[in-house]
Chains A and B, each alone.
Chain A
Amino acid sequence: MVRIGLLGIAHLHFYSYASAVQRLPNAELVGLYDDDAARAEEAAKLFSTTFYKCPEELLKNADAVIICSENSFHRKWVELAAKHGKDILCEKPIATTVADAEAMIKACDAAGVRLQIAFPVRFSTPMRRVKAMLEQGALGELLAVRGTNRGRMPGGWFIDRELAGGGAVMDHTVHVVDVVRWFTGREVVSVYAEVDSMIHDIDIDDCGMLCMELEGGVPFTQDPSWSRPSSYHTWGDVTLQLVGTKGTISVDALAQSLTVYSNAEGKMVTHPFTEDMDLELIKDFVEMVETKRSPSITGFDGLQAMAVALAAYESAKQGKPVTLR
């Protein structure tokens, strides 16, 4: 039985991660900690688990932790968990600066703990199917990639630069970049971005457009905008289109859904019948802890995806494409 603790619950994904842990036969949710005691107590009640007043106490009673704190606190918690020799699943983005991400990777290596970054989209069944198609050569030679990961404006600490490290571009660039790196085995070599705040009345970027180049000169664009209005039928989207010499693949991770016209909602809504990618992510993480194998998504993967988002901000500031190291 793998004993899992939640360190930081600021990111709402903690709900589905905690629920996934509780649904797995080989894992147990031993408790949670958050700097915000009121929020931690409430969550502990909801999951009928222990609220630890001290993170070290939680770490003593856990084999591994899931970190869902505000982005800029990821480093603090990863370093603490590493010090206690615990394996870690860290919510994306890995951090808010390259220095933090590198320090986290180094701390985990030095302590001999495994660090996995939570990119659940890699566990989407349609995405896994596309990965298999690509491995079978369905595209021929890859020529162009287009991604979107749009959403609603999340509010809260997500629009606090200190805590989130950025707005829509930081929030919604990393998933797509990670999947494209995973699909193609290619790194992003340059980023051009338009970034602005025009949709919501907030002081942080809420829309943008990234136009990148992958290794081998392949064009790749990504739209991270918080451009879904409250009247939209769902929270947002994750889509990719891959154009090759032998075919084009378009994939929509959320296409598997019912269209529901509900008078109670006052609008059309879509209800997903997709498999639960968060559950698959947690299953994979628990298996990693149990079998002591290497993580399927590494700290380096997290760093590479975050570096693209940071380069996008840099590009927008400079008004020209930025080359990644």
Chain B
Amino acid sequence: MLKVGVIGCGTMGQLHSAIFKKLPGVELAAVADLDDQRRQEAADALGVKTYREGQELIADPSIDLVDIAVPTDGHAGLLDQAIKADKHVFCEKPVVRTNAECDLLEKLAIQTGKRIGVGHVVRFAPEYVAARDKVLAGDIGRAAVSRTFRGGSQFPKGWQDWYADYARSGGVILDLAIHDIDYLRWCFGDVARVYAKTTQGLTEERMEHAFIVLRFKNGVIAHVEAGWTNYPGQFYTTLEISGSRGQLTFDTRTTAPILYAKADADKQEVNVALPESPALISPYEAELADMVAAVRENRDPKVTLAEALATTRVALAALESAETGKVVNL
């Protein structure tokens, strides 16, 4: 029985806890959260041991795998502690907030014999997996131009409103666009250079829209777009890849198989929009099942720390470009 502890009882922490609770061969042993009420609610809902500090959960010798689902700026410290405590770790994306933290994690990763996975869940989303399979099979010839979109929903609400604090979240580029940056890296390999623009600073409203142009070392040109609004909207994602012999595309607004219009729709309050496409195993469940299997089989998880760090460095380069107005070569 693999014993798991989840640090953070926000949107992602709750989701992860619920999945670990039902995964076979896994025991959700403890959760941690600084917020007294949320910690109590988690204890009631899950019937597990709770800690206030993530550090206390990490120090619990019974726990094998630590899941880190706290605001981004808290990742590096907890990863540091968990790796030093010789735990397996699953960390929500983005794995860290800064380049200095990337450097630190690279050093730590060498020292651990344990498995470290990162929640780049799009690599488990069926529409994205299918698209990549088609591209790799050569169905569209040589890939040349790709476009991605992610957003449409309202600016997320998190604990202490951490998403709105650029220093903590990195805004829409580091929190949202990073999904597509990671996916495109998975498809096309390393990025050569990055140019980006964001609306951050253009308005006091709770919204941000960003465009990132990526040039991959294999030649592919990509347009990555992500946005949070300050008005109600539907969360959706799109992908298009054009090549020398064809093109493929999807838009989750049209691939959604179920549409449900309901009377009290405008009363809904969403903290953080999560995409949903009905599947026997959701991408969130698949990524955690893969992590558990990686530990059990003593292999790398599908999204390794090294991969996540490489993706994060590209997203941080986009932030730097948006800030300086310059091209960032990687």
* Chains A and B are bound partners: yes
Q: When chains A and B are docked, how far (Å) is the Cα of A206 from the Cα of B245? A: 13
Taking the nearest CB of chain B, how far is it from the CB of A131, in angstroms? 21
Q: When chains A and B are docked, how far (Å) is the Cα of A258 from the Cα of B14? A: 45
Inter-chain contact A245/B203, CB cutoff 8 Å: yes
Residue in A closest to B230 when the chains form the complex, CB atoms: A245
Q: When chains A and B are docked, how far (Å) is the Cα of A146 from the Cα of B201? A: 19
Q: Does B29 count as interface, using CB distance less than 8 angstroms?
A: no
Inter-chain contact B221/A211, CB cutoff 8 Å: no
Inter-chain contact B246/A207, CB cutoff 8 Å: no
User: What string of 1s and 0s marks CB contacts (under 8 Å) between A160-202 and chain B?
Assistant: 0000000000000000000000000000001010101011100
Inter-chain contact A229/B209, CB cutoff 8 Å: no
Contact check: which of B140, B145, B210, B243 meets A209 at CB < 8 Å? B145
Q: Does B227 count as interface, using CB distance less than 8 angstroms?
A: yes
Q: Does B155 count as interface, using CB distance less than 8 angstroms?
A: no
Give chain A residues whose Cβ lies under 8 Å from the Cβ of B193.
319
Give chain A residues whose Cβ lies under 8 Å from the Cβ of B282.
none
Q: Does B225 count as interface, using CB distance less than 8 angstroms?
A: yes
Inter-chain contact B221/A141, CB cutoff 8 Å: no
Contact check: which of A194, A206, A213, A232 meets B197 at CB < 8 Å? A213
Q: Does A247 count as interface, using CB distance less than 8 angstroms?
A: yes
Give chain B residues whose Cβ lies under 8 Å from the Cβ of A146.
211, 225
Q: Which of B202-225 contact A (CB under 8 A)?
A: 202-203, 205, 207, 209-211, 213, 215, 219, 221-223, 225
Q: Does B229 count as interface, using CB distance less than 8 angstroms?
A: yes
Q: When chains A and B are docked, how far (Å) is the Cα of A305 from the Cα of B221? A: 23
Inter-chain contact A320/B213, CB cutoff 8 Å: no
Inter-chain contact B202/A143, CB cutoff 8 Å: yes
Inter-chain contact A320/B221, CB cutoff 8 Å: no
Taking the nearest CB of chain A, how far is it from the CB of B62, in angstroms? 49
Q: When chains A and B are docked, how far (Å) is the Cα of A199 from the Cα of B241? A: 12
Inter-chain contact B245/A229, CB cutoff 8 Å: yes
Q: When chains A and B are docked, how far (Å) is the Cα of A208 from the Cα of B229? A: 28
User: What string of 1s and 0s marks CB contacts (under 8 Å) between A213-240 and chain B?
Assistant: 1000111010101011101100000000
Give chain B residues whose Cβ lies under 8 Å from the Cβ of A200.
244
Q: When chains A and B are docked, how far (Å) is the Cα of A200 from the Cα of B247? A: 13
Taking the nearest CB of chain B, how far is it from the CB of A141, in angstroms? 6
Inter-chain contact B327/A225, CB cutoff 8 Å: no
Known A-B contacts A243-B227, A245-B207, A247-B231; A198 and B202 likewise in contact (beta carbons under 8 Å): no
Contact check: which of A199, A213, A243, A247 meets B144 at CB < 8 Å? A199
Q: Does A321 count as interface, using CB distance less than 8 angstroms?
A: yes
Inter-chain contact A209/B223, CB cutoff 8 Å: yes
Known A-B contacts A198-B244, A245-B205, A245-B207; A225 and B199 likewise in contact (beta carbons under 8 Å): no
Q: Does A246 count as interface, using CB distance less than 8 angstroms?
A: yes
Q: Does B233 count as interface, using CB distance less than 8 angstroms?
A: yes
Residue in B closest to A213 when the chains form the complex, CB atoms: B197
Inter-chain contact A199/B325, CB cutoff 8 Å: no
Q: When chains A and B are docked, how far (Å) is the Cα of A146 from the Cα of B196? A: 13
Q: Does A298 count as interface, using CB distance less than 8 angstroms?
A: no
Give chain B residues whose Cβ lies under 8 Å from the Cβ of A206.
144
Inter-chain contact B327/A192, CB cutoff 8 Å: yes
Q: When chains A and B are docked, how far (Å) is the Cα of A243 from the Cα of B247? A: 27
Q: Does A144 count as interface, using CB distance less than 8 angstroms?
A: yes
Taking the nearest CB of chain A, how far is it from the CB of B131, in angstroms? 15
Give chain A residues whose Cβ lies under 8 Å from the Cβ of B252.
none
- A/B interface sample: 27 pairs, CB < 8 A: A141-B203, A143-B203, A143-B207, A143-B209, A146-B225, A190-B325, A196-B144, A198-B219, A199-B144, A199-B145, A199-B243, A200-B244, A208-B221, A217-B201, A219-B199, A219-B210, A221-B213, A221-B225, A223-B145, A225-B145, A227-B144, A229-B245, A232-B247, A245-B205, A245-B207, A248-B229, A248-B233
